[in-house]
Amino acid sequence: MSGQPDTHHEESFWRKYIFSVDHKIIGLQYGITALIFLFFGFCLMMMMRWQLAYPEEPMPMLGWLFGENGVMLPEMYNSLGAMHGTIMIFLGVVPLAVGAFGNYFVPLQIGAPDMAFPKLNMTSYWCYFAGGIVMIVGFFVPGGAANSGWTSYPPLADIATTGQTVWLIGMVLLITSSLLGSVNTITTIVQLRTKGLTWMRLPFFVWAQFVTGFLLLLAFPPLEAAGVLQLMDRLLDTSFFLPSGLVVSGEILNVSGGGSPLLWQHMFWFLAHPEVYVLILPAMGIVAEVLANNTRKPLWGYKSIVYASTFLGFMSFIVWAHHMFMTGMGTTISAFFQATTMIISVPSVVILTAMFISLWGASIRYNSAMLFALGFIPMFGIGGLTGLPLGIAASDIHLHDTYYVIGHFHYVVAPGTIFALFAGVYYWFPKMTGKLMNETLGKVHFWLSMLFINGIFMPMFVQGLAGISRRLWDGGTTYAHAADTLWLNEVMSASAWLLGLAQLPFIYNLIKSMKSGEKAESNHWEATTLEWTDAPSPPLPHRNFEVIPEVHRGPYEYSVPGADKDFTPQSEA
């Protein structure tokens, strides 16, 4: 490797940037694509928020999208809802957290020249890209994009318009992509750790990606199976999810029947609950890196965080039916899932507490990355704790399918995971580009985002407790029990649009800094992990390091007493 003659040769533009097998280029491809999808999904939501705040009023500027007199049709609203969820989760957050950050920084943090299977890595990205294109194509088929919710519950989804078929094909591609990606991540972490990098010396980010890899690997296939079954139902008229005697538009559906809609729910949530941890674990990994670096002290309770995250991963496979308390499950099985759900909250609390205690006694550097990481802690706390009443069968009866649920999981994913991802962007941008981002713009971005994102989601708890259902096209105007809290719709919508504006400094900052940012040193943040201490910024193409580093200590040796500086790199002998 290091001593060998340089095999570097000029590559064509296509090989270098488009069909690249370099994990860093692929990571950037993932990152850029995912950011675009995130923004797209966000725009869909901003349109929905107009409809909710001002039902049946024509939308300014974008009214032409909805045909006659610019008022959004209910079908369109449903499409936007389904696609917002799908795009945000499967095309935005997961690819950004796992595909982009995982791909880029796992090999760097473990001192590997690349991922274990570079070609598989490239295939994974292109499957993801194809899946994204297919999802977008859904908007242009007759009947519009999938409109049965991101959960695609049958029988509705079985008899929905063509968009649902397109959605399923897109999902199969996305699942294939994440399967290839997870095989690659796990193999890389097991096999390519550099000399001296034992398991308990791994940066927590790598651990988080490792556990996430297993979740993707083992939880996604049942959804793929379910997707195939639903495709069979839609294309070959089978009845996997259609019960006998189903009446549609006043007529008994002409199918063999004998299927069960609940089967879909089981197979769907078998994936979709671990998916929640796929969203949150990499975010925790990023936050851990940023916290340790900017508190200038070791992460508190590293081992307990590691054990907690593996336990979290394991438990996430056996809690899924808490999404199904309202399907008429018996009390025994409900009690089982309720118990496992309560148990799984313990490791989350362990991780969060450890992060919180890490702040104690630190002289904190408040840069943009750290602000977002600090924002993550209380926001994820709110998201997590509001989940408990949903995990208890009795209180779930009241809250199920209300805006409370929407508020809960958005607190986990939006100001939780997405804040952590922003932290990751601000933290690693100098490493990826060799340039610095503007700190002032970053702080503006943080404070405005923090303010408005709470303006969106906090009122949802109020509306949800008042009993407003999550899937109402008109935001609840036709329901008497909603009357008292309807005014919140405007507050939430205004916050959503302002949140959109608050992203402009970020977008500007990103592009401007990439072009003409101040030059960054290779270890700008004075960090201890290998990607900062041993690789130049940006790292060398196709091998990352001048010399493959060796590791002599744990990942977070900051402010070691008696050391000459306040950080001791992992690779320092």
Partner 1 sequence: MSGHSVEDIKKSVKVYIGVFAALAVLTVVTVAASYLDLTSGESFFLAIIIASVKGTLVAGYFMHLFSERTAILAVLGLTFIFLLTIMFLPYMALTDHPAV
Partner 2 sequence: MEIPYNVEERQDTGMYNAKLGIWLFLASEVMLFGGLFSAYVFLRMGDVTGAFMSGSNQLNVPLATFNTLVLISSSVTMIMSWVSLKLGEQKKFKTYLGSTLVLAGVFLVVKYFEYSAKFHHGIFPETSTFFAIYFTLTGLHMLHIIGGMIVIFYFLVPGAKMMKLESERFTNRIETVGLYWHFVDLVWIFLFPVLYLL
| Binding of partner 2 by 480 (CB under 8 A) | no
Taking the complex as a whole, the smallest distance from the CB of residue 233 to partner 2 amounts, in Å, to 8
| Residues binding partner 1 (CB under 8 A) | 190, 214, 218-219, 222, 260, 262-263, 266-267, 270, 314, 317-318, 321, 324, 328-333
Stretch that binds partner 2, among 33-41, 216-224, 363-371, 441-449 (CB under 8 A): 216-224
Distance (Å) of CA 261 to CA 292, 331, 433, 449, 456: 47, 20, 49, 40, 33
CB of 269 to partner 1, least distance (A): 10
Spatial contact of 263 and 151, defined as CB atoms under 8 Å apart: no
Q: Tell me if 409 sits within 8 A of 276, measured CB to CB.
A: yes
What does 183 bind: partner 2, partner 1, none (CB cut-off 5 to 8 Å by kind)?
partner 2
Task: Give 72 or 223: the residue with its C-beta nearer to partner 2.
Answer: 223
At closest approach, how far in Å is the CB of 411 from partner 2?
30
Q: Which stretch binds partner 2 (CB under 8 A): 162-170, 258-266, 340-348, 495-503?
A: 258-266
- Token match 């957050």: residue? 93
Q: Which does 472 bind (CB under 5 to 8 A by kind): partner 1, partner 2, none?
A: none
Taking the C-alpha atoms of residue 306 and residue 476, their distance in angstroms, rounded to an integer, is: 44
Beta carbon of residue 115, minimum distance to partner 2 (angstroms, whole number): 8
Give residues with Cβ within 8 angstroms of 336, minimum separation 6: none
Q: Should residue 239 be labelled a site residue for partner 2 when binding is judged by CB under 8 A? A: yes
Position 324 contacts partner 2 (CB under 8 A): no
Closest to partner 1 by CB, 46 vs 262, is 262
* Binding test (CB under 8 A) with partner 2, winner from 70, 143, 196, 221: 221
Q: Is 518 exposed, middle or buried (0-12, 13-18, 19+ CB in 10 A)?
A: exposed
Could you tell me the two tokens for 203? 């940066």
In angstroms, the CA 130 to CA 520 distance is 35
Token pair recorded at residue 73:
């049709």
Contact in structure between 430 and 469 (CB atoms under 8 Å): no
Q: Which residues contact 50 (CB under 8 A, 6 or more apart)?
A: 59, 72, 493
Nearer to partner 1 among residue 262 and residue 342 (C-beta): 262
How many contiguous H segments (helices) and E segments (strands) does the chain have? Answer: 20, 2
Q: How many chain residues are in contact with partner 2, going by CB under 8 A?
A: 50
**124 contributes a contact to partner 2 by CB under 8 A:** no
Stretch that binds partner 2, among 43-51, 139-147, 251-259, 360-368 (CB under 8 A): 251-259
Amino acid identity, position 323: H
Site string for partner 2, 265-304 (x = CB under 8 A): -xx--x----------------------------------
Residue 510 carries which side chain, given as an amino acid letter?
L
Partner that binds at residue 114, options partner 1, partner 2, none, CB closer than 5 to 8 Å by kind: partner 2
DSSP for 364-376 reads ----HHHHHHHHH
Pairwise CA distance, residues 570 & 557, whole Å: 8
The contact mask relative to partner 2 for 89-118 (x = CB under 8 A, - = no) is -----------------------xxx-xxx
Q: Is residue 107 a contact partner of residue 188, using CB atoms and an 8 Å limit?
A: yes
Please identify which residue in 46, 73, 136, 217 interacts with partner 2, judged by CB under 8 A.
Answer: 217
End-to-end CA distance of the chain: 21
- Chain residues in the site for partner 2 (CB under 8 A): 1, 4, 7, 112-114, 116-118, 120, 179, 182-184, 186-187, 190-192, 217-226, 228-229, 232, 236-240, 244, 255-260, 263, 266-267, 270, 542-543
